Structure 1
Amino acid sequence: MFVLLFVVRHIQDADTNIMKRELTDSFIKKAATPKPDNSPANYSDGGGLYLHVNRVGKYWRYNFRFQGVMKTLSIGRYPEITLKLARERHEEARALLARGIDPCAFKKQAKKSQADQVANSFENVAREWFIKHLSTKSESHRKRTISYLKRDVFPYLGKRPIHEIRPMEITPIIERIQRRVEHDAHMRVLQSIGQVFRYAIANELAEHEPTASLKGLFSRNGELVHFPAITEPHEVGRLMRAIDHYSGSFVTQCALKLSALVMLRPSELIGGLWSEIDLASGLWTIEVRRMKADTKIKQANQHKHVIPLPRQAIDIFEELKPLTGHQPHIFPAAGRMGNHRSMSKETVSKALHRMGFKGQMTAHGFRSMASTMLNEMSRWNPDAIERQLAHKEKNRVRDAYNRAQYLDERREMLQAWADYLDALKTGGQVIPFKAKA
């Protein structure tokens, strides 16, 4: 078989060497035209290669016989495919034919392989995984995930066939994110890449999960993210006075004041709805779908977080209601779209920056401020403080039991906290709450 193949190749090579080529670039450009009656004309270059010319354009074709059947291979359009390139592809096709391979079938399979590579590129598989497996996640989580993939991963791995990607290609991507981002985004991106590969393996698009060998190479920049927070009484008083004299939007000022009083997460406070507020009862009731919780818990939406409002918070709501009470959101976005969405959760933090507290205080820091100072006062039950913060109890049975507990104590605690902040703001004596007898 080897000898026969060698002889066929030798004959083919010899035939190539003596083949007479008939076309020239000059002829193709000037003289290769359709027939006088505008019907197509064919101009042979030898060996079955010819230029087919019609009213639309000029096309390279190769006529050959395979297993007794006459076939035609389309090579491409002139001038995109030059005379030289057409001859090169003609020789490649003849070499395939000499080895018993149908050039038309080979071209079709090559196109399919190229299409499969595009379909199975990392970006395409990642987007498919994103649609199928992140649809139940929160909007913020989805936006954050696709943002990192588009900015940091797709430019480097997006077009690569996913089954060809190796660990060494992923390492510099994660290192770049780790250098640029202060927190643990690099670990989350590594996790997302791993999830994409596991999805590919499950769908027989890849065989190996390359991130598994990288997890030991990267450490977290910090196991716990600490938000800047002011906890020294004199500085808290200065902060409250600055909020009282805030010169920006009145709605933003109200968000600043409430951030200090109700201990909510920024997104929970800014996303507040007027339908959640009962000023007569002094309660703010938030469904769990708006809270930080597991996706399944949010979807079930069977729990609520109840915030007893201190007198100062009720006063703020009463001042704010004439301005935004006709809209669903307590803190609507500016402009015509304000009716449909709330202001950015970054608004409070940006206001604090403008007030001169950048690096000292954030919107989330109000929770740390209240938690730290209330726990240091030793008057309040730590479980009541945790319940007000809406922290998830590690013990599920205890969490279910405590969900509706401490409401009376929390009402007393938040009123005392609001009064304490007022005292600090006016520069009164900074005396901690007395411990319970």
Structure 2
Amino acid sequence: MFETLSQRIRAAVDKLRGRGRISEADLKTTLREIRMSLLEADVNFEVAKAFVNAVQEKALGAQVLESLTPAEQILTIVYEELVQTLGGEAKQPTLKSEGNLWFMVGLQGSGKTTTSGKLAAFYKAKGRRPLLVAADTQRPAAREQLRILGEKVGVPVLEVADGERPEVTARRLREHLTFDYRDLVIVDTAGRLQIDEALMGELAKLKEVLRPTETFLVIDAMTGQEALGVSRTFDERVGISGLILTKLDGDARGGAALSARYVTQKPIVFAGVSEKIEGLEPFYPDRLASRILGMGDLQTLLEKAKAVELEGPLKTPGEITLEDLITQMRQMRKMGSFADILKMIPGVSRALPPGFTVDEKAINRLEAIVLSMTREERRDPRILNASRRKRIAAGSGTSVQEVNRLIKTFEETKSMMKSLAKQKGRGAFRNPFGR
């Protein structure tokens, strides 16, 4: 997501690079292009206008026209304003020692049920004892879906029966908590394909009875301009304390992320970044702004690396094997796609061509080649004669040429690492492939 917006903003600012001075007309032209890129990304007109006006005011106030590096100064101002538009400082839900009850609201198809399961998994991993409440009686499969998610993450699910009154639901919930203590209750409420009076009335009544400590509006980041009306109506009729964006890994233009927070003035607390149960991350405005501007996101990358324990003991270049390579590849896949990982590295994102992707099928073929080798062959590729390479190609469904190419690249990488180690006077190298 945001790839087109990122490219357009960077292209507008890059036109100013290399200039010693810029005129006010140059600045207005750049800001006009930025405004157009925001509108094309489905950002609300009012939001785009306010954003550009704020950047222009700061740019003139910072005397960018007199600067020797106007492009860098404007980029800094755009970044700072993006951070503010997205919420400023990162905010997470307040959790008490007990009595936490969260309401999940939103339109049908926004991802409420899946997000409820992800939240349960997220906080269970942090030592909490969540309980899921399947209160969506409008969508037939909703309760079954939440039940499956609950089983997957090891969290119990209390199901609301068809036609059950809110008072009965509240009583059943109290009874459940008396014999099964839980310090976080997540209620998956009903949704509709569009907002209507019946939906708002049901949610308002259920909220009045259950008295949640937090009410989160779940928004599909691919809804575009529609997200504004949805956000405003839910906040006015039900009252929300925060936003959760789903499908932030999709190919939508992403205007909802920039617009919803501006309209409601409520913080975005989480973002869904994949369909996996662990694909939910706390929302950091500064990190997303950095990604949008192609500045990378090293902090998130480091956190992902730490989560999958990428670090290993020191190895000299001569000790690195193909087993290390396959181990590292598998660990990196837990962090996301290879293309996404590259874009998080500062400086790399700007160097990548528009529409850059990594051929995941090629990665799969590489993995198949290594797995088709014996342990002895992985540890010492020098023993791979013609017959062995032919066997590996047949076993991996690839060609001998691909096997040869992999071995050649691997050996060249080891040689390069040895050379670097000698130049830097080191006797050991951090193994970039694995353990």
TM-score range normalised by the length of the shorter chain:
under 0.3
TM-score by length of 2: 0.26
Instruction: Report which of the two structures shows the higher radius of gyration computed on alpha carbons.
Output: 1
TM-score by length of 1: 0.26
